Amino acid sequence: MDQGRFLELRDKTRQLTLMASVLLVTYSTVGAPIAGIQDLKTTLKSNILTVIAAEKDFKKVIVNVADQVKKDVNECLVKHGFSQLDGEKEKFLIGQISDVAAEDHAVTTVMHKRICSFIKGSITSRHTEPLKVPAGYSAFQTELSQMLGRFLRLVSHNRSVFGMHYANIIGSLIRKQQDLSPR
């Protein structure tokens, strides 16, 4: 019954992973001139969300995302007294952002592992202290918290409604495995 909700959360997790990856690639490619400029993170996040809002397939809009990021970075550089990116650096930035859409991209893989660890930690944690947002996701703290809240509500609901049913299934599987094991 909740499959659609879980799939929606999976898509939101993927979207957050890709957006965080784009920000990391952008900041590492452009470097010092934009380091520490919080306005830029907010602008990039907002504009990337706008660009990808209507499209589920990130690969289809990645070129538009790259162009928007390039535009936002150049405007920020000028606003803060730096020169715009030269043609070579712009091409490199666009290429780096375009590569993020690949399933096996190193940055995307690391960011995916971080968000999965964060989600797993939230499920298994018994601590009362707040969870730390994974590195690279600070700009998406609100979205991450909302997504995690929805996920935890679904998990909690499923545990309370179907817990005994799942326990019976797992118990019978364990008994079968014990019966099949050599003595």
Report pLDDT digits (tens) over 81-110: 999 999 999 999 999 999 998 889 999 999
Please state, in angstroms and rounded to a whole number, the distance separating the CA atoms of residues 35 and 40: 9
According to the 3-state scheme, what is the secondary structure of 17-79?
Answer: HHHHHHHHHHHHHHCHHHCCCHHHHHHHHHHHHHHHCCCCCHHHHHHHHHHHHHHHHHHHHHH
Contact between residue 23 and residue 56 where contact means Cβ atoms under 8 Å apart: no
Q: What is the pLDDT of residue 127?
A: 66
Report pLDDT digits (tens) over 69-80: 999 999 999 999
Position 36 confidence tier, pLDDT thresholds 50, 70, 90: confident
Q: What is the pLDDT of residue 183?
A: 58
State the average pLDDT over residues 22-40.
Answer: 91
Chain mean pLDDT for the chain = 89
Please state, in angstroms and rounded to a whole number, the distance separating the CA atoms of residues 73 and 85: 8
pTM for the predicted model, two decimal places: 0.83
Contact between residue 121 and residue 115 where contact means Cβ atoms under 8 Å apart: no
Domain borders along the chain are 3-180
